[in-house]
Amino acid sequence: MTTEQAAVLEKKDGVAVITLNRPEVKNCCNNAMATALQDIMDEIDEDRNCFVAVIHGAGGNFSTGADLKEAASGIKRTRLRRGGFGCFVHPLRKPLIAAVEGYAVGGGFELCLTADMVVAAANAKFGLPEVRHNLVAVGGGLFRLPKKIPCNIAFEMALTGKIYDADFLRPHGILNRVVEPGTTLESAMELARSLLVNGPTALAASKRIMSKAFEWQELEAWENQMPIAQVALNSKDRVEGLKAFAAKRAPVWSGE
């Protein structure tokens, strides 16, 4: 990893590890980071040997959101195909786990909300402080947060602009694990590895169907889920899964 790279991708035995790499500014997101994240998301989505991803921040913080100094300098934000932060509009198609140390606020919290699971340090801080600067959280936080926690709590977070700790959020179900500071990446990797025993095409299909849960009415969901599920059900990995079960051995997934 070099200091010149605003975001870094490493691949470890089926797990893609994304590092937000601007620790000197608490990993706030500038154009370089957003572009790098989009490229990384594209690469992971297309790599059949990457089944799960973990995203974390270097230097003890997840991310404090957009780089407001860059914006104040007059530099225009790069318009990206996948949206802000390189993934807000079109998140990763494969399971994504956020490992949060320190601050995850503003766009940093919205980045957490694109993840499917969150492992947080006990001293992690979360919030949408945009209203305190007469800004609006347009990175998906205002409509994703009420889907993940009770609406009244989401309103409180968005409209007060306060920063909340892990103890506040934990009872509301948005945090999968709360762990000792300094251990979030290790814990997130452990969670990621627990997914690797499962079929990768089934993981991706299951994520896609679940992500539509708030969009589909139940009757249309029965119909709409099948074309997505068929990708996994018609895959080589389905055949491998059945053969492995019959032979009482561990399956060897190909991602095909």
d(CA 209, CA 226): 9
Residue 225's nearest CA partner among 237, 213, 234 is 213
Q: Which residues pair with 55 in a beta bridge?
A: 18, 98
How many Cα neighbours within 13 Å face the side chain of 185? 16
In a shared domain, residues 233 and 162: no
Instruction: Note the pTM of the prediction, 2 decimals.
Output: 0.91
Share in percent of the chain as helix, strand, coil (round to 5): 45, 15, 35
d(CA 66, CA 50): 28
- What residues act catalytically? 110, 130
CATH of the domain at 144: 3.90.226.10
Identify the residue with better confidence: 118 or 4: 118
User: What was the pLDDT predicted at 214?
Assistant: 86
Residue 159 pLDDT > 90, yes or no? Answer: yes
User: What was the pLDDT predicted at 154?
Assistant: 97
Q: Which of 111-115, 128-132, 227-231 has the lowest mean pLDDT?
A: 227-231
**Residue 58 structural domain:** 7-195
Average pLDDT, the chain: 93
Q: What is the pLDDT averaged over residues 102-131?
A: 97
User: What was the pLDDT predicted at 224?
Assistant: 86
Give the model's confidence band at 69: pLDDT under 50 very low, under 70 low, under 90 confident, else very high: confident
Question: Does residue 13 form part of some domain?
Answer: yes
Contacts of 17 (CB under 8 A, 6+ apart): 9, 10, 11, 53, 54, 55, 56, 185, 189
Domains identified in the chain, total number: 2
In a shared domain, residues 218 and 167: no
Tokens 């814990």 — which residue?
Answer: 187
| pLDDT, tens digit (0-9, with 9 covering 90-100), for 206-256 | 999 999 888 888 888 888 888 888 888 888 888 988 888 889 898 888 888
Give buried/exposed letters for 65-95 (b at 16+ CB in 10 A, else e). bbbeebeeeeeeeeebebbbbbbbebbbbbb
Give the model's confidence band at 49: pLDDT under 50 very low, under 70 low, under 90 confident, else very high: very high
d(CA 184, CA 227): 36
d(CA 133, CA 146): 22
| pLDDT, tens digit (0-9, with 9 covering 90-100), for 167-192 | 999 999 999 999 999 999 999 999 99
Residue 3 pLDDT > 60, yes or no? Answer: no
Question: Does residue 154 form part of some domain?
Answer: yes
